[in-house]
A and B are shown apart, each in its own frame.
Chain A
């Protein structure tokens, strides 16, 4: 029997190359004759562009050209929607106003490009931006979400009657009735603010137009290479096979790199053809903060209706979601908020209403978590408010409301980002809660540790929250697997990789079926020349959706190999097995043929070829789930807060998580670690801060606090439950965003518990010591 390689912590295929500094990232690409781009960006958030003088910039030695909207003619129009509108939801209304490649007459966010410079070096291109003189007529900026919808508010898009970008109501049961029958109803206003994705590698693009071959090659660290290829071909009147998008090694994605038809790819593909020279643009950190995308800004008005025993009868949530200046990504983020607000609790009545709002801020698209942390934050904060009112233990009130393990599949009645009704496929939430309580020794903490600490004057608090993570959504992904004449296996899939270990985990899936070593499987992701069907890397779907397609393709290749080997070895297929790069007779391992030889024989160069046969040991397969697989978990945290400086120290952090059957448990833990770090940043350090004029005050790492090694707990104590998803043959659920989802809720809960003596109640995330101090002073009536 072959050694199993699936569901095993195998070291990564890609690591030696990366560690030795030999991995090629975007800015490492140099092509002879290459030119460099820089963007002149608006300092105003909302202004009319009256005129723009580029003559001095054009005259600078080394500048090839300076281009404004008038140089781009018909290209200057709203780009395509990245995500379809929510028409599957009854009564939903929306206005799509998609990203413009360059400002023509009106600026809608600070950082929007008004001109692009092409020069012989990046230094000269950036110099030239300082010699471009736009004349603006500033307008009042739309920043506050609720004021934005008031009559008379300035309009981000003047052709619309208001700043409302979309309105969606979803409900199940009957909330007014639930509230009428409840013993208590609690109402709160809850905020969550923006975080930046902060991939360590900024965005960028290299475009090369080969005029003789009539071929365009684009290198870009996009999460969606096929979308980029298709949009480019359509826009430029090229065939899809004249455009090849290659994703090099990419230094993190976390959401914003999903966007295509952005100013850079639209304008630079055009200029590369016009100038017939390769062009590179590599964003700087300030531009990344100003003019990519970010999210999480929402204001919620939530209500929870309960019996006096703490059973939740109903939940109502009316919320405002900041879409930024455009809404090309439509409603993925707020729909995720809706689906993740009550998903793990048994709540008969739920009413959720979104007002999506245009503002003069950076465009909003998913950032690791993608609306889920907001839903979980709102729900968990409301449960804590209820526990406080009912004088119940925070773990117990959760326990009695969780969905039970025998209930699956559970239809939620709420349509999600994939436009089908949410169904929880599998899980065991009570066990996760019980495990976390055991691991963190909840009882002992409450009965011994905390009282003792409090007696000593220490502010030690605990938080414990549960969550779900909708993952692995459709539509579909595919894969092509080929066995080479050398017996090694190549796997190509349409999703792109930004560090998730696909070169290893995908190899494990193929190797498991084909009986080869993981290091002998070469995985190609995000190269449209190798595979050109699929949607992309988002929504924690790579492992689940592309991984399943790889499994299905590997099974096809295996069957092909068995069939051919059966003829050659004159043995029934049922007596053959794939081991160590050979197909062999199980009982007579010396009777065998190598996969390489089989691959050669499957591709005859002379002679005949049977009708209906397909050459080579190669197969393509696709997989699309009916709905996403739902991961889940529970997290607890102990915080020690210095009551004078309000500096919190995370003493312990425990998390139990279910992502079905992990392909590579080491990689899963790594994903959780990174997500938790982002969640800790979201809770306490990170905040994308716009002032009332729409100026971004956090456009560098001096102002935007990035969680560092000393900000993290000494250890993230992880436990897992493995409940296979019935939706795919490998039982996989996604995990990419899990760590980021519950952390702000748990942190805030622990902070309140630590500061219990002040009576403080904190209904917002993106905190800081000074903000906590202000809360405490207010609670004390100071």
Chain B
């Protein structure tokens, strides 16, 4: 049997102590060990961006990290943003601009953008496209996502 490693991870404000295989992907740890299935896995080779989470506040791809790398670190997933009844302004903007269809890539976009908009309060369309260039979407053609980001920036400025 593979040796297990004990890790301490804070996810969405909750501290977890778990024993994991050293090779366990962080994405699988979040989804299957912690049952936070809002984080999605689309390619498992770091390209599609569906598995994006915040790792110590920075957006990263959880499918190309190991769970052991998260020991004594802080993670936020899509579940940290809002609830169906109280959406985060970014989520509201996605809904209002029809920026999602099948929704599988959406959590990755949200986590990329919540990081990006934290640092960039009023991006241009071109800057928005650069910011989401590492997230693949097959349904929307990205146009409504760009519009949603523009709207979200306004909403978030009004909230702050």
A670 to B106, CA, bound (A): 15
Contact of A673 among B39, B41, B143 (CB under 8 A): B143
- Cβ-based interface call for A700 (8 A): yes
B57 in contact (CB, < 8 A): no
Whether A387 is near chain B, meaning CB under 8 Å from some CB there, is no
Chain A binding site: helix, strand, loop or mixed by DSSP? loop
In the complex, are the beta carbons of A18 and B141 less than 8 A apart? no
- Considering the complex, which residues of chain B in the window 111-135 have a beta carbon less than 8 Å from any beta carbon of chain A? 125, 128-130, 132-135
Report A376 CB to chain B, min CB distance, Å.
19
Q: Do A710 and B84 have beta carbons less than 8 Å apart?
A: no
A251 x B87 contact (CB < 8 A): no
| CB nearest neighbor in A for B78 | A21
Contacting pair A499 B139 (CB below 8 A):
yes
Q: What chain A residues lie within 8 Å of B32 (beta carbons)?
A: 30
Taking the nearest CB of chain A, how far is it from the CB of B113, in angstroms? 12
CB distance from A461 to the nearest CB of B (A): 22
State in angstroms the CA–CA spacing of A285 and B47 once bound together: 11
Chain A, 466-484, contact with B by CB distance < 8 Å: what is the 0/1 string? 0000000000000000000
- Secondary structure of the B side of the interface? loop
Q: Are the CB atoms of A708 and B136 closer together than 8 Å?
A: yes
A670 touches B140 (CB 8 A): yes
Listed stretches B3-11, B65-73, B96-104; interface member: B96-104
Q: Given the complex of chains A and B, what is the CA–CA distance between A20 and B77 in angstroms?
A: 10
Contacts of A21 in B (CB 8 A): 36-39, 77-79, 81, 107
List, in ascending order, chain B residues with CB within 8 A of A285's CB.
Answer: 42-45, 48
Any A CB within 8 A of the CB of B55: no
Asked whether any CB of chain A lies closer than 8 Å to the CB of B1, the reply is yes
Give CA–CA (A716, B141) in the complex, Å: 9
**Contact in complex: B47, A674 (CB < 8 Å):** no
Question: Do A201 and B40 touch across chains, with their CB atoms under 8 A apart?
Answer: yes
Interface: A677 (CB within 8 A): yes
Instruction: Judge if A35 is at the interface, Cβ distance under 8 Å.
Output: no
Partner of A199, one of B1, B38, B95, B138: B138
Q: Are B83 and A673 in contact (CB under 8 A)?
A: no
Asked whether, in the complex, the Cβ of A19 is within 8 Å of the Cβ of B143, the reply is no
Residues of A within 8 A of B110 (CB): 19
A679 CA to B39 CA, complexed, in Å: 28
Q: Specify which chain A residues have a CB less than 8 angstroms from the CB of B105 in the assembled complex.
A: 200, 251
Are B45 and A701 touching (Cβ within 8 A)? yes
Check if B26 is an interface residue, CB within 8 A of chain A. no
Q: Within 8 Å CB of A677, what residues of B?
A: 138, 140-142
A27-B41, A709-B132, A709-B145 given as contacts; is B100 within 8 A of A18 (CB)? yes
Contact B37 A700 (CB under 8 A): no
Kindly report which residue of chain A lies nearest to residue B90, judged by CB atoms.
Answer: A19
- CA–CA, A410 and B135, complex, Å: 44
Most buried by A among B31, B50, B137: B137
Q: Are B101 and A501 in contact (CB under 8 A)?
A: yes
Q: Which residues of B contact A670 (CB under 8 A)?
A: 98, 101, 139-140, 144
Across the interface, name the chain A residue whose C-beta is closest to B88.
A19
- Distance (whole angstroms) from the CB of B103 to the closest CB of chain A: 4
Q: Is the CB of A19 within 8 A of B91?
A: yes
Flag whether A337 is at the interface (Cβ < 8 A). no
CA distance A18 to B41 in the complex (A): 15
Inter-chain CA distance A324–B87, complex, in Å, is 46
A249 to B47, CA, bound (A): 23
B146 in contact (CB, < 8 A): yes
A131 to chain B, nearest CB (A): 16
How far apart are B40's CB and chain A's nearest CB, in angstroms? 7
In the complex, the answer to whether B138 meets A498 with C-beta atoms within 8 Å is no
Q: A701 near B129 (CB under 8 angstroms)?
A: no
Q: Given known contacts A252-B102, A674-B101, is B143 in contact with A716 (CB within 8 Å)?
A: yes
Q: Residues of B contacting A675 with CB < 8 Å?
A: 141
Q: Is the CB of B102 within 8 A of A250?
A: yes
Q: Is the CB of B87 within 8 A of A252?
A: no
Q: For B146, list chain A residues within 8 Å (CB).
A: 709
Interchain nearest-CB distance for B123 vs A (Å): 12
Chain A residue nearest in CB terms to B77: A21
Contact of A20 among B41, B78, B134, B141 (CB under 8 A): B78
Chain B proximity mask over A11-24: 1 for CB below 8 Å, otherwise 0 = 11011111111111
Nearest CB of chain A from residue B27's CB, rounded to whole Å: 11
CB distance from A504 to the nearest CB of B (A): 10
Distance between Cα atoms of A674 and B137 in the complex (Å): 9
Q: Is the CB of B101 within 8 A of A19?
A: no
Contact with A674, one of B78, B85, B128, B138 (Cβ below 8 angstroms): B138
The complex places the Cα of A19 from the Cα of B114 at a distance, in Å, of 13
Nearest Cβ in chain B — how far from A535, in angstroms?
A: 21
From A11, A252, A715, B104 is in contact (CB under 8 Å) with: A252
Cβ-defined partner of A251 (8 Å) among B95, B96, B104? B104
20 contacts between A and B (CB under 8 A): A15-B103, A16-B87, A18-B100, A19-B106, A20-B78, A27-B37, A199-B138, A249-B103, A251-B103, A252-B104, A499-B102, A500-B101, A670-B139, A670-B144, A674-B140, A677-B141, A706-B48, A706-B136, A709-B145, A716-B141
- The 3 A-B residue pairs with the shortest CB-CB distance in the complex, in nearest-first order: A21-B38, A251-B104, A499-B102
